[in-house]
């Protein structure tokens, strides 16, 4: 099947799934986003909002997308390619067919279907064999006029390569929009990919990222996801598939504000011996927000996995639910989990006050400590981004 036939098949499958809801999260009617015209040209990037989600607009490798009409990208880093997805498909059709809509089924749900039929843009990033990239490869996805934004992202980290991709997604205040980001990541043998995604939406935005990751033998995938602002609904469940000797670490920090409906999970399927996975999530629920944290590890062969879910209640009307799942398909699998939900303990506040902190300073310090997750093996430049984001998130939680 050639590329044209493959794309026609993708669209055909997608068209039959437009009414198929996701099994998780609040359902959203996507029909209005099928008929609305594309966002007007001329939307401008809000630099302050881009910087708030940690995007370095002066990076040596960067992709910028505004709505579905403006695209800008470049790479000054040897061994790193950055393209718009349409350019990749047009210029290298045979290669594109190997990676485009291969990990994610366009008929998975109405959101993948909508992206397959109406999506535009998204980044193609390739890190060539053996290349070690110390600085983050940046991407910024900004919605200025609202409507639909449905980019399709592909990242390929070739054998022995090592890189960090940092994506900041944000939206203009009070703009109604649906963001559906399709991401297919390929981590080759003995390669390492760190993927950091920071979201800052608004009170009327709906967000539905869809991510699948394939990690080859001896490879490693590290993910760090943060929702740091108010959002109307957010639902995502990235899944990672591990070969032998491979590792995965997925961390998420979720801030629920207002009447947000947030349902975020992650899953890892371990298919090879001597592989391991760790899933960590932190939820801070304020106002009348509702947060569901899901996590699943499926283990085969000789493998290990651990899930750690913790929630912090910051109001009387908030809601948090944790759903950890462990599935063993071999007697040689070792899987563990711990989950907890609570509020800031008064004795911890009083202890810090006794050491000279004000009550507000004590609460702020405890919230920031709760939201902080140690991510090992992250370059110093990336670590500084994460620390600054955690500081901003903690301040917004209060």
Residue 171 is predicted with a pLDDT of 93
- DSSP calls for 164-232: EEEEEEEE-TT--EEE--EEEEEE-TT-EEEEEEEEE--TT-EE--EEEEEE-TT-EEEEEEEE-S--S
Residue 262 is predicted with a pLDDT of 97
Of the chain, the percentage scoring pLDDT greater than 90 comes to 77
Vertex 282 angle, CA 367 and 276, to 5°: 135
- Tokens found for residue 262: 């947030």
For residue range 122-174, what is the model confidence (pLDDT) as tens digits? 999 999 999 999 999 999 999 998 899 999 999 999 999 999 999 999 999 88
Q: How would residue 37 be classed by pLDDT, with cut points 50, 70 and 90?
A: low
User: The pTM is what?
Assistant: 0.94
| Average pLDDT, integer, range 286-300 | 96
Residue 42 is predicted with a pLDDT of 63
| Distance between CA atoms of residues 83 and 71, nearest Å | 10
| Average pLDDT, integer, range 54-71 | 94
For residue range 368-396, what is the model confidence (pLDDT) as tens digits? 788 778 776 677 777 777 777 777 777 77
Does position 289 have pLDDT exceeding 90, yes or no? yes
For residue range 306-323, what is the model confidence (pLDDT) as tens digits? 999 999 999 999 999 999
Question: Could you tell me where the DSSP H helices lie in 294-358?
Answer: 346-354
Residue 41 is predicted with a pLDDT of 61
For residue range 18-36, what is the model confidence (pLDDT) as tens digits? 999 999 999 999 988 887 6
DSSP 25: S
- State phi, psi for 367 to the nearest 5 degrees: -65, -45
Distance in angstroms between the alpha carbons of the first and the last residue of the chain = 55
Residue with tokens 């996805």: 141
Q: How would residue 278 be classed by pLDDT, with cut points 50, 70 and 90?
A: very high
| Average pLDDT, integer, range 172-198 | 95
Does position 114 have pLDDT exceeding 70, yes or no? yes
Does position 240 have pLDDT exceeding 60, yes or no? yes
Residue 313 pairs in a beta bridge with 285
For residue range 116-128, what is the model confidence (pLDDT) as tens digits? 999 999 999 999 9
| Distance between CA atoms of residues 212 and 207, nearest Å | 17
Vertex 174 angle, CA 85 and 36, to 5°: 50
| Average pLDDT, rounded, for the chain | 92
| Distance between CA atoms of residues 87 and 5, nearest Å | 18
Residue 38 is predicted with a pLDDT of 58
353 or 271, greater pLDDT: 271
Q: How would residue 40 be classed by pLDDT, with cut points 50, 70 and 90?
A: low
Give me the half-sphere count of Cα atoms (radius 13 Å) on the Cβ side of residue 329.
Answer: 10
- State phi, psi for 239 to the nearest 5 degrees: -125, 135
DSSP 40: P
Does position 39 have pLDDT exceeding 80, yes or no? no
Does position 216 have pLDDT exceeding 60, yes or no? yes
Residue with tokens 């370059």: 379
């Amino acid at each position: 099947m050639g590329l044209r036939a493959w794309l026609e098949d993708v669209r055909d499958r997608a068209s039959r799934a437009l009414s198929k809801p996701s099994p998780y999260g609040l359902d959203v009617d996507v029909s209005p986003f099928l008929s609305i015209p594309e966002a007007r040209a001329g939307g401008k990037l809000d630099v302050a909002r881009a910087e708030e989600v940690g995007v370095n607009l002066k990076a040596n490798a960067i992709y910028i997308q505004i709505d579905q009409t403006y695209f800008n990208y470049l790479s000054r880093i040897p061994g790193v390619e950055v393209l718009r997805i349409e350019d990749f498909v047009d210029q290298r059709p045979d290669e594109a067919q190997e990676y485009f809509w291969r990990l994610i089924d366009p008929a998975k749900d109405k959101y993948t279907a909508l992206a397959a039929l109406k999506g535009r843009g998204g980044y193609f990033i390739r890190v060539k064999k053996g290349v070690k990239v110390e600085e983050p490869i940046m991407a910024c996805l900004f919605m200025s006029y609202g409507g639909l934004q449905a980019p399709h992202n592909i990242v390929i980290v070739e054998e022995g390569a090592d890189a960090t991709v940092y994506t900041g997604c944000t939206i203009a205040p009070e703009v109604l929009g649906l963001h559906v980001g399709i991401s297919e990541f390929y981590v080759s043998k003995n390669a390492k990919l760190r993927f950091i995604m920071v979201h800052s939406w608004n009170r009327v935005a709906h967000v539905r990222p869809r991510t699948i990751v394939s990690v080859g033998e001896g490879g490693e995938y590290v993910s760090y996801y943060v929702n740091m602002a108010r959002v109307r609904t957010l639902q995502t469940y990235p899944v990672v598939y591990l070969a032998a000797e491979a590792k995965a670490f997925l961390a998420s920090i979720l801030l629920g504000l207002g009447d947000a409906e947030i349902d975020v999970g992650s899953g890892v399927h371990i298919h090879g011996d001597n592989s391991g996975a760790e899933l960590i999530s932190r939820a801070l629920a304020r106002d009348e927000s509702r947060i569901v944290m899901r996590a699943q590890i499926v283990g085969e062969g000789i493998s290990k996995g651990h899930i750690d879910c913790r929630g912090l209640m910051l109001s009387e009307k908030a809601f948090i639910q944790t759903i950890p799942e462990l599935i063993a398909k071999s007697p040689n699998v070792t899987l563990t989990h711990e989950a907890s939900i609570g509020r800031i303990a008064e004795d911890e506040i009083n202890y810090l006050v006794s050491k000279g902190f004000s009550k507000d300073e004590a609460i702020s310090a405890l919230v920031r400590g709760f939201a902080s997750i140690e991510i090992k093996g992250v370059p110093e430049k990336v670590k500084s981004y994460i620390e600054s984001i955690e500081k901003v998130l903690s301040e917004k939680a209060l």
